[in-house]
Amino acid sequence: MIKKINKRYGNIIKKNTTIIEALKVMNSCSLNLLIVLNGDKLVSLISIGDIRRAILNNIDLNSTYIDEIMRDDILIARESDSMEKIKKIMLKERIVCMPIVDASRRLLEIHYWDELFSKEKSLESIDAQVVIMAGGLGTRLKPITNIIPKPLIPVGEKPIIEIIIDNFIKHKVFDFYISVNYKAQMIEDYLKIKESKECVLSYFKEESPLGTIGSLYLIKDKLKKTIFVSNCDIIIEEDYYDIYQYHKDNKNDITIVSALKHIEIPYGVMETEKGGNLIGMIEKPEYTFQINTGMYILEPHIIEIIPDNEFYHITDLIDKVNKVGKVGVFPIPEKSWYDIGQWKEYTSTLAKYSNMHIDF
């Protein structure tokens, strides 16, 4: 019965699971929510938010079990509950799935949002501006970038820059500034229809390379709200309101969106001391790192730090702000980060993005 329930999403785990094992399951399924069972009985739910809080609290993901972070207050339905009641609760609470249990909490079924409601869940609106850094040459993606600029490289049925814009429009963000240079006219021509129908796109051009953030000095007088800054070769498939709210709640000057990258070393790793004497050896170790995704949130006063008309990287800005202000990090699952920066990453993204955006 449990195997049948788990077949579609693969988001059921056992109680005696470590956080890192739970994260692996989450990365392999299409939801950011896991059902926790003890035998065939429902214990709790684990969301990406629960794992995120564990990471931010420096909890050891490899040795800590999920029962230390899972919640007691979860919404469930009884087998006697009508479908009308279940739908009403799911709509009100905006939850992606509803477990159905019997009197002894034995899991009978799971109802999912996309099975019950045809329309996509509406997202909270965000009061922000967006800057997309789209002026690079795309050298690592030659020869395709000899013909089209990197922002117009297709991922699925749309170019990547349109996907980035659409993800913000879902949050009712319509104010975009796009840094262009290489094949700028081609980018502007493609986006004309979208601008007239859905949003306001303003372009600014750096005449010479200004690094990954230096060109923002050109529009510093126009950036008055909290600013999302995104590279044009990445897609973040997350609820941007959660990122925005984390940034605001923690009063950050800058928030970096990180992806949880899990790496398995298929060899024995040795540690030695001076003279080559062996200290110890770990067989096939596993590590989890937070990788910079290329998306950031900045408060507008931070733009004043960027020097006028100088080559300046986002890492320079982060280092400076971290000494005098507050820089936070918002981790997301690796599966929520799509990267097309190099050919290997692009081909991987095409396969991954297609699999994660199947109409069931």
Q: For residue 259, which of 277, 235, 275 has the smallest C-alpha distance? A: 235
User: Is the predicted pLDDT of residue 105 greater than 90, yes or no?
Assistant: yes
Q: What is the mean pLDDT of residues 168-187?
A: 94
Q: What is the mean pLDDT of the chain?
A: 89
User: Is the predicted pLDDT of residue 359 greater than 60, yes or no?
Assistant: no
List beta partners, residue 339.
234
User: Is the predicted pLDDT of residue 358 greater than 90, yes or no?
Assistant: no
User: Is the predicted pLDDT of residue 277 greater than 90, yes or no?
Assistant: yes
Tokens 């739908």 belong to 87
Measured between alpha carbons, how far is 134 from 182 in angstroms, rounded to an integer? 8
pLDDT in the model for residue 2? 66
209-261 pLDDT, tens digit each:
888 999 999 999 999 999 999 999 999 999 999 999 999 999 999 999 999 98
Measured between alpha carbons, how far is 233 from 140 in angstroms, rounded to an integer? 11
pLDDT in the model for residue 81? 92
User: Is the predicted pLDDT of residue 102 greater than 50, yes or no?
Assistant: yes
CA distances from 52 to 88, 105, 260, 332 (A): 29, 27, 10, 7
Domains along the sequence of the chain with CATH: 2-116 (3.10.580.10), 128-356 (3.90.550.10)
User: Is the predicted pLDDT of residue 262 greater than 60, yes or no?
Assistant: yes
β-strand pairing of 254-264 with 286-298: antiparallel
Q: What is the mean pLDDT of residues 252-271?
A: 93
Q: Confidence band (pLDDT; 50, 70, 90) for 122?
A: confident
User: Is the predicted pLDDT of residue 360 greater than 50, yes or no?
Assistant: no
Measured between alpha carbons, how far is 189 from 145 in angstroms, rounded to an integer? 17
- The more confident residue out of 299 and 335 is 299
Measured between alpha carbons, how far is 208 from 280 in angstroms, rounded to an integer? 51
pLDDT in the model for residue 201? 94
Q: Taking the C-alpha atoms of 330, 334, 340 and 344 in order, what is their torsion angle to the nearest 10 degrees? A: 140
**Portion of the chain with pLDDT greater than 70, in percent:** 94
pLDDT in the model for residue 354? 65
User: Is the predicted pLDDT of residue 302 greater than 90, yes or no?
Assistant: yes
pLDDT in the model for residue 198? 74
